[in-house]
Amino acid sequence: MAGLYIHIPFCVRKCIYCDFYSIPSVEGSVAQRLRSYVYADQHVFLDALEKELESLPEDFAPETIFIGGGTPTELSDRDFASFLDLLRQKVTFDQLREWTCESNPGTLTEEKVRLLREAGVNRMSIGVQSFDPAALEFLGRIHSADEARAGIRLLKAAGFQSMNLDLIYGIPTVDPDVLSADLAAAVELGVDHIAAYCLIFEDGTPLADLQRKGYVKEVDDDVELAQYQLVRSRLADAGYHQYELSNFAKPGHECLHNLLYWDGGEYFGCGPSAHSHWQGRRWSNVRSLESYCKQWLTGTFAPAMEEMLSPEAKARELVIFGLRKTRGIQFADFTARTGYTLDQLYGDTLGWLCDIGMLTRDAGSIRLTESGLFLSDSVFAELV
């Protein structure tokens, strides 16, 4: 399965925890921009994106497309329509099974929804993060809880059947009981997929800077564990199957594009900072809108990073991705794909991780245990 990722690098403002490449598209105070918003013209970016799409192999026919950001729905109605038309013109849709677009509820309008439906987008991913006003304010979100609910209902009324809702837990300064209410609100909205992530203090973000200055600190490990367990139990009770560390879906509604990544599939990434993996080669685009546009419009594209993975490096990477899935790794499938056995790659390490309760192994597969799911980063560090 092959996929296509498109990075739209614009947003109203950056949330304090966000490490993705994005830039506010209009100057002025946030309050002013939200009261009387005038979209900037992003035609230069779209012209550059067109050139990059034209560089894709002629026989490339993705089964999944994911439009992320930033905030894709931050584009003006005119530019958003042009963008969707551009994809239809430059990308072969013959094999397409899933077309996802991310959105912030604060930028979701009836016109944007109409454009998405008419283009053929069949899955939405909505960055709600919380329904609690204090949590939303702390995170720097531009939307209210009511706007989040209204956005989901708007999408449902337009006929979207497949929808993901993002939540964040482990938020300092916020009452831990808020998570229970957030989960209840998400379930009540009837979405078929929920992704719940623990807040991460990424280097270079305002959140990490606040931590460094002593204004805020991460929640204690025991609190984080209790909240992760709450997420898993509440969503299981509501009929959601956990198929990955942070992703829960009703039967048949798993995100195919994310599964493509976790299954070690191939994909092209277009837009500034986007990554690609194709025929053993991995590369990334420059993390600058200005440089990205200049490169593609002048025919001087140069990857910011490029590497060819050795067979062993690729196999080890596939282990890390595979263990993210709750079903784990099937031995026969892994050996057929890589030519290696897990024991060849890791020797006694797997047995040790099983002995300390991080992994569980049977005749045909290996996967993370309950404890291993929570401590997955530590497990992966032993398997790199």
- Segment 268-294, tens digit of pLDDT: 999 999 999 999 899 999 999 999 999
- In the prediction, which pLDDT does 35 show? 46
- In the prediction, which pLDDT does 174 show? 86
Please check whether residue 65 is in contact with residue 6, taking contact to mean a CB–CB distance below 8 angstroms: yes
Please check whether residue 115 is in contact with residue 87, taking contact to mean a CB–CB distance below 8 angstroms: no
Mean pLDDT of the residues in the chain: 93
Neighbours of 302 (CB within 10 A): 10
Helix axes 110-119, 145-157, angle to 10 degrees: 40
Locus of tokens 């078929």 = 192
| Beta bridge partners of residue 27, listed in sequence order | none
Pairing of strands 241-244, 275-278: unpaired
Higher pLDDT, 237 or 12: 237
pLDDT-derived band at 106, boundaries 50, 70, 90: confident
pTM over 0.85: yes
- In the prediction, which pLDDT does 41 show? 60
What residue spans define the domains of the chain? 2-261, 328-381
**Range with top average pLDDT, 14-23, 67-76, 90-99:** 90-99
Give yes or no for residue 32 having a pLDDT over 60.
no
pLDDT-derived band at 30, boundaries 50, 70, 90: very low
Q: How far apart (Å, rounded) are the C-alpha atoms in residues 353 and 239?
A: 31
pLDDT 10s digits, 291-336: 999 999 999 999 999 999 999 999 999 999 999 999 999 999 999 9
Residue range 2-261, CATH number:
3.20.20.70
From 136, 131, 223, 123, select the one nearest 183 (Cα to Cα).
131
- In the prediction, which pLDDT does 33 show? 45
From 67, 80, 142, 87, select the one nearest 115 (Cα to Cα).
80
